Structure 1
Amino acid sequence: MVLGRWLLVTAASAGSGLLLLSSLGWALAHPGGGADGAVVRLGWCLIPVLVTVQLAVAVGRAQPAGWPRTGLSAVGLGRTGVVMLAAACAAVTCTLGSAVALAVFLQLRGDVVGVPWNGVGPGLLAAGRPLPPAGAITLLALVPVAAAAATAFRLREERPPAHDAPGTLPWGVSLVAVGLAAELTAPSGHEVPLPSGLGSISPAALAAWAVTAIGMVLAGPGIVHLCGRLTASFRPGAVRLLAGRALQYEARRIGYPLGLLCATASAALAAWDGAHALGPVSSFAAALIAVCVLATSALALTETRNARTAPRAALHAVAASPAVLRGAVAVRAGVLFAVLVPVTVLVAALSTYP
């Protein structure tokens, strides 16, 4: 399972590297197209890069839990050494993905076999034009460096999980409200084109969407905790009490990934237009974002499940029925689905007004 996680990070890093190299290839193939088009294409690559780094951080966070701390301490690796080792693992894994991306890109350009691939089109491969080594290396180094730095920062700043009510809900709701209000009142100006001919959006509205997405991520733990409180209120039975207490206990651990999942889903719903089909590059980027976000959420849920070993053992010790445990899991999933899906759809609907 651990190897599979790192292979997934490698694949995500390779996908992000291919997108970055495709923007470089477009700039080489359109030297007279101006810097704006190349900058816009490179800017849209930022979203896949961010979710790839987030996935690498999630995997890097889960890895030290399986390391033998006594053995690492015996060779002189304390907390700082463990942090640096996890960051190095993230960097090496993402570097391998970047190397795969470079090999695939060179193969598509025809630099290896001499025949370029025409499936995507010459506008993204710049076949026949020399690839600048400095530019390619700089773009490919972006994901490994960012993943190593983010993993080290996350592990260095990590504290024991708190199980009190998360205090980020007011901040998250405020940011969502401010972002939606800014989207609705964003002035029209220099429009930024959306991928695959989906139209254009003003920079102010784009910045407001980023604020809304950050607000949804911050509000995630508070929403999960509130769901737990409501589930365990009003004379609960055993199933509702177990489900509500579990949601409150796990709010911080699963709230942020679920908030990121909701923000991604709301952006996809707001940007989707049935009249326009996504191009191959945009479809690849959308699939990469979806896989990274879903994998990050799955890692958080798996970590939560592993952390419930002691409570499950205690419930088995008092002869709790397996049906009670399955019912609590179903209630938790149902409550979260019933609350988060309408919130996601509402934010997406309000985001489409501009």
Structure 2
Amino acid sequence: MLALRLIRGSHPLVLLSRLLVACAMAGVGFLLLASLSHALAHPGQPAASVARLLWCLVPLAAAVQLAVAVARTDPGPQARSALDTVRSGPGGVPALAAVSTAVSCLLGSAVALLVFLHLRGELTGMPFDGAASGLLAADRPLPVAAALTLLCVAPVLASCTAFALSARTARPARLRAHGGDRDRDRATMEARTVRAASSGGADTAAPATDDTTGPAPLPGSLPWGAALTAAGLALETYASRSQHLPVPRTLEGIAPGVLGGWLLIAVGLVLAGPGLTHLCGTLLTTCRPGAVRLLAGRVLREEAARVGRPLGTLCAVVAGTLVAARLYAAAPGGGLSAVGPMTALGIALVLACALLSVLTSAAEWRSARVRTNAALVRVGAPRKLLRRAAALRAAVLLVALGSLTWALSVLASLPVLP
């Protein structure tokens, strides 16, 4: 009941994020039910049905990541302080995050079932009755147990993941809430950085390197991400040249070696995301930077662990979409006409979930720096400087990660194109 009351009294933006999670889960549930319909319509093609079901794991993972990203910001700071006041215990916040995530996901699964039944023609009285009856195997009876099992996979997985991650981060967040000296120390050091750079001192980077609250070091996952990306490119190249693993020109029937190479590249990009964000911040602070570059670079290095992983996921999704677009364009009679409705829905769902995860992490990043920015303004930093630093961070990340994503998509598509 407490979780439902918190959901009802949440901020409109929080309700909007939960509604987006419900929409994502509705799309995933519809794709799972569509794969079940394909199995019903083609009982003699179990391999094709299993392949369609496995491809649903990609939008499922993207939707779960979005749900977890939203759960990290729920409940808000006021609700967290109220829970600490009533001594809800260390499991209070994780339980509330898991329940709110489960409610949003179950709502999306229910909507997916209703839309699926409506398009099959089993629910009448509304527009588009039975519009996809042939595609969704309306002539075959729907196994209720199998449908409900598929619809419950995403909510259970998302709520369990949200509970585990919230339980892991609840204690550090509580310690930061009760020991508020970190924000003040951070604002003091950043104010010193701005003053030193504005005064044109000889050693402008000194204030950012000689305190214990400085930015975190380079994440250790960057070498692993680079190694996995290189291994994925090598595996894909080897598989494409093998006579025993022919590479098709469409997404159907992809050779296992090529698929494994793409998977390694995607995992490598996700792991390298925090390190690449940290390197962007380091690049900004080189060659005698000014106040804007110093502040932007310091913030990027400090928050690399928070936003780097969603950015790496978005880069992997965009690179995969570019590779798929090149494959469909090179296929005989290909182009947009070769993309089926379920494939288009899956691609759009993965892209939307990855982008929304980045935006959610950015909103969490911004809310975490509210006190620090307010302290910077109190010590004399102009708001225009903060806005310019934010714009510079976004531009550097867009140029650096966008260039890397485009280059990897080209390298990943070269071995499989004629």
Give the TM-score range, shorter chain: over 0.9
Q: Does 1:13 align with 2:25?
A: yes
Identity between Structure 1 and Structure 2 (%) = 47
Distance in 2, Cα, partners of 1:118 & 1:279 = 18
Instruction: Work out which of the residue numbers 357, 365, 389 in structure 2 matches 1:328.
Output: 389
| 8 A Cα contact 2:120 2:137, kept in partner | yes
Instruction: Work out which of the residue numbers 48, 53, 58 in structure 1 matches 2:64.
Output: 53
TM-superposed CA distance for 1:181, in Å, is: 0.9
| 8 A Cα contact 2:105 2:154, kept in partner | yes
| 8 A Cα contact 2:122 2:130, kept in partner | no
The 10-residue stretch of structure 1 (69-78 or 326-335) with the greater mean CA deviation from structure 2? 69-78
Partner of 2:225: 172
Q: Does 1:107 align with 2:118?
A: yes
Partner of 2:77: 66
Distance in 2, Cα, partners of 1:276 & 1:185 = 27
With over 3 angstroms needed to count, the CA separation of the structure-2 counterparts of 1:188 and 1:66, relative to structure 1, is farther
Instruction: Work out which of the residue numbers 224, 234, 249 in structure 1 matches 2:277.
Output: 224
Post-superposition Cα deviations, 1:179-209, rounded to whole Å, max 9, x if no partner, equal 1111111246467978xx5454211211221
TM-superposed CA distance for 1:339, in Å, is: 1.0
Give the counterpart letter for 1:179 in structure 2. G
Partner of 1:137: 148
Q: Does 1:77 align with 2:88?
A: yes
Partner of 2:291: 238
After TM superposition, the structure 1 = structure 2 runs for residues 25-64 of structure 1, keeping only pairs within 5 Å, are 25-32=37-44, 34-64=45-75
> Secondary structure of 1:185's match?
helix
Partner of 1:344: 405
| 8 A Cα contact 1:120 1:280, kept in partner | no
Partner of 2:376: 315
Distance in 1, Cα, partners of 2:229 & 2:27 = 30
Give the counterpart letter for 1:167 in structure 2. G
With over 3 angstroms needed to count, the CA separation of the structure-2 counterparts of 1:190 and 1:235, relative to structure 1, is closer
TM-score, with length taken from structure 1: 0.92
TM-superposed CA distance for 1:321, in Å, is: 2.6
Distance in 1, Cα, partners of 2:235 & 2:172 = 36
| 8 A Cα contact 1:94 1:143, kept in partner | yes
Give the counterpart letter for 1:349 in structure 2. V
TM-superposed CA distance for 1:121, in Å, is: 5.6
> Secondary structure of 2:376's match?
helix
- Measured on the aligned residues, the alpha-carbon RMSD in Å equals 2.2
Instruction: Work out which of the residue numbers 276, 280, 298 in structure 1 matches 2:335.
Output: 276
After TM superposition, the structure 1 = structure 2 runs for residues 142-221 of structure 1, keeping only pairs within 5 Å, are 142-158=153-169, 160=172, 163-186=216-239, 187=242, 189=244, 198=251, 200-221=253-274
Instruction: Work out which of the residue numbers 292, 295, 299 in structure 1 matches 2:353.
Output: 292
Give the counterpart letter for 1:98 in structure 2. S
Give the counterpart letter for 2:317 in structure 1. T
Partner of 2:179: none
Q: Where does structure 1 lack aligned partners over 5 or more consecutive residues? A: none
**Structure of higher CA gyration radius:** 2
With over 3 angstroms needed to count, the CA separation of the structure-2 counterparts of 1:22 and 1:94, relative to structure 1, is same
TM-score, with length taken from structure 2: 0.79
Post-superposition Cα deviations, 1:264-318, rounded to whole Å, max 9, x if no partner, equal 0100111103342122221111111111111100001111111121221122123
Give the counterpart letter for 2:222 in structure 1. L
TM-superposed CA distance for 1:227, in Å, is: 1.0
Q: Where does structure 2 lack aligned partners over 5 or more consecutive residues? A: 1-12, 174-214
In the alignment of these two chains, the number of paired residues is 350
TM-superposed CA distance for 1:54, in Å, is: 0.6
With over 3 angstroms needed to count, the CA separation of the structure-2 counterparts of 1:17 and 1:135, relative to structure 1, is same
